[in-house]
Amino acid sequence: MRITAIREIAVPINSTIRNAVFDFSEMTTSVVAVITDVMRDGKPVAGFSFNSTGRYACGAQMRDRFIPRIMKAQPESLLNDTGDNLDPEKILACMMQREKPGGHTERSVAIGTIEVAVWDAVAKIADKPLHVVLAEKYNRGKLLTKVQCYVGGGWYAPGKGIKELQDEIRARLDEGYTTMKIKVGGATVPEDVKRVEAGLKVVGSSDRLAVDANAGFNRARALQYAQALKQFKLRWFEEPTDPLDYALLADVASIYDSPIGTGENLFSTQDIENLVRFGGLREDRDIIQIDVPQSYGIVQFARTLAMLKRHKWERRSIFPHGGNQMTLAIVGGFGLGGCEAYPDVFGVFAGFADDAKVENGWLKLSDRPGIGFEAQNALYAVMRGLVSRK
């Protein structure tokens, strides 16, 4: 058993939506295929992944360092102890050879994207859904059939006012979601307060509406929003500051009693540990939103969870960033707090299986082997193209 090829391609997101900080008109993502010599139905088993939206394609690091290291390794050195499957932990260690500690953002997305594709291959070789493989390894075999799922939206767009925002929220509720997250920070504080009030009128309860500032606030604006929003007692206030500005985040937490969500723009276990030690976060209410494929992948995520447990954070407080099949499998496998969704937002990279249906805020886990990309026809066409490419 061996990896025969690892291929990647950069694909444009093709989205013109805007948050408080930037638009997505130039955004790209890396799609990866890890191809093995294991044959099923006359075809080689291949694992797939992509670096979830919000980070640009990172193929240069993959091509220059990480893919060559894997392909130069002795094939048996990348297998598990029984020799019947790949070992993601050994493959992660292989990619990290000759890498200096620190400097995570330069490499963590590229490594994590490859690593998650390896897990897809591992699960397919085992002929099990990825969430089952992860539950057996990391969650004492506790198997879930569905996970809680909230929907993100409320983007700023030309001609989009209060009525259009409310119409969007109603449409998402009609699709089966019960909790909505909308953007703040792309307008004035009074305008955003009106948007929040309008959203609450539709969802009906403060614990069913969250807001997201995309880490775009300076000190004055972050504190101003904390004061203005605390009256609403929202589900959470996401990314009110740069997550590395621990002092400012702690000051926001001292004003804002309701939950804060942050962490999707951090890339390592040490980053997250610093966040919970120095950022003023409260383990009884706040939300950690690390993005797994962007932070070295699943093996390292398990280490991050172990660290958070030492700091008395429970898995129900972890809501990984990324509304996609990868995150859905990870949430289900580790038994985390919930998953987000971004339907119809990021082209072929948005959402879940084509036939996925949210019911009363819950989403059923895939029963397909691996991550289940095969149930997303448009995205899977891109992925299969990597396997057939010479």
The amino acid sitting at 2 is: R
CA 53 – CA 56 distance, rounded (Å): 8
Cβ neighbours of residue 98 closer than 8 Å, sequence gap 6 or more: none
H and E: helices and strands count for the chain: 13, 12
Q: Which of 104, 124, 131, 321 is catalytic?
A: 321
Provide the β-strand partners of residue 18.
Answer: 23, 156
> What backbone phi and psi angles, to 5 degrees, belong to 129?
-60, 150
Known active-site residue 321: yes
Q: How far does CA 352 lie from the centroid of its chain?
A: 13
CA 331 – CA 148 distance, rounded (Å): 9
Q: Are 149 and 332 in contact (CB under 8 A)?
A: no
Output the six-digit token pair for 305.
């969870």
CA 334 – CA 331 distance, rounded (Å): 6
Provide the β-strand partners of residue 370.
Answer: 129
Cβ neighbours of residue 371 closer than 8 Å, sequence gap 6 or more: 47, 48, 49, 116, 119, 120, 123, 130, 325, 326, 329
Q: Are 322 and 340 in contact (CB under 8 A)?
A: yes
CA 368 – CA 372 distance, rounded (Å): 5
Q: Are 181 and 153 in contact (CB under 8 A)?
A: yes
Q: Which of 183, 357, 364, 390 is catalytic?
A: 183
Known active-site residue 183: yes
CA 389 – CA 85 distance, rounded (Å): 24
Q: Are 325 and 352 in contact (CB under 8 A)?
A: yes
The CB-side HSE value for 301 (13 A sphere, CA atoms) comes to 37
DSSP 324: B
Output the six-digit token pair for 98.
């000759």
* Alpha carbon separation from 185 to 15, 37, 155, 216, 346 (Å, rounded): 20, 50, 11, 7, 21
Residues labelled catalytic:
183, 321
